[in-house]
Amino acid sequence: MRGLILGVAALVVTSSFAQAAGDSIAGRTVMVKCQSCHGKDGVGRAMLVGGEAPNIAGQKYDYLVHSLMAYKAGERKSPMMSLAVKKLSDEDIANVAAYYAAIKITVEPPPP
Ligand code: HEC
């Protein structure tokens, strides 16, 4: 399974590709609430409670919005994420999704 995970070879934060439905620049101010676990670059960090947060850099905008809305609605459960999205407005969610979606990533398949 590990071998299937593509390595993130390089990360560049770009803000020039603001998504239509969210504002990646405005999303920076929301990202401050996420960076201790997901990083400013969207790469998951080791958490104080143990384990690692998932990578979200360059994730599809629609998927990010969908996931965040699901945590907010309690359809998807995670103690940490439920807390993280609790006070976010729909606009905050769109903007922070645009921010993380705008991070440029390149991937490299694992060696044969
Ligand atoms: C305290 C640590 C922590 C903070 C703060 C946090 N997250 Fe998370 N996040 C997690 C963990 C752990 C998961 C995996 C939860 C699960 O299993 O569903 C996760 C999952 C996610 C996912 C789903 C990823 C996927 O591949 O399905 C998204 C999107 C996400 N976080 C975005 C955010 C955003 C945006 C913020 C800031 C508003 C944020 N997170 C704040 C720890 C955190």
Judged against a pLDDT cut of 60, whether residue 78 lies above it is answered with: yes
Asked if the structure places residue 8 within a domain, the reply is no
Q: What is the CATH number of the domain that holds 50?
A: 1.10.760.10
- Assigned domain for 103 exists: yes
Average pLDDT of span 47-73: 97
Beta bridge partners of 105: 11
d(CA 85, CA 92): 9
Q: Which helix (H) or strand (E) holds 93?
A: helix 90-101
pLDDT at 71 > cutoff 60: yes
pLDDT band at 21 (very low <50, low <70, confident <90, very high): confident
- Ligand 1 probe mutation, 8, 29, 32, 34, most atoms within 8 A of CB: 34
12 in any annotated domain:
no
Among 31, 38, 93, 96, which is best to mutate for testing ligand 1, by the most ligand atoms less than 8 A from CB?
38
Report which protein residue has its CA nearest ligand 1's atom 41. Answer: 34
CA dist., res. 21 & res. 9, Å (int): 28
In a domain, 72, yes or no: yes
**pLDDT tens column, 27-41:** 999 999 999 999 999
* Domain containing residue 50: 21-108
Tell me how many domains the chain contains.
Answer: 1
Is 49 a member of any domain? yes
User: Is the minimum distance from the CB of 33 to ligand 1 under 6 angstroms?
Assistant: yes
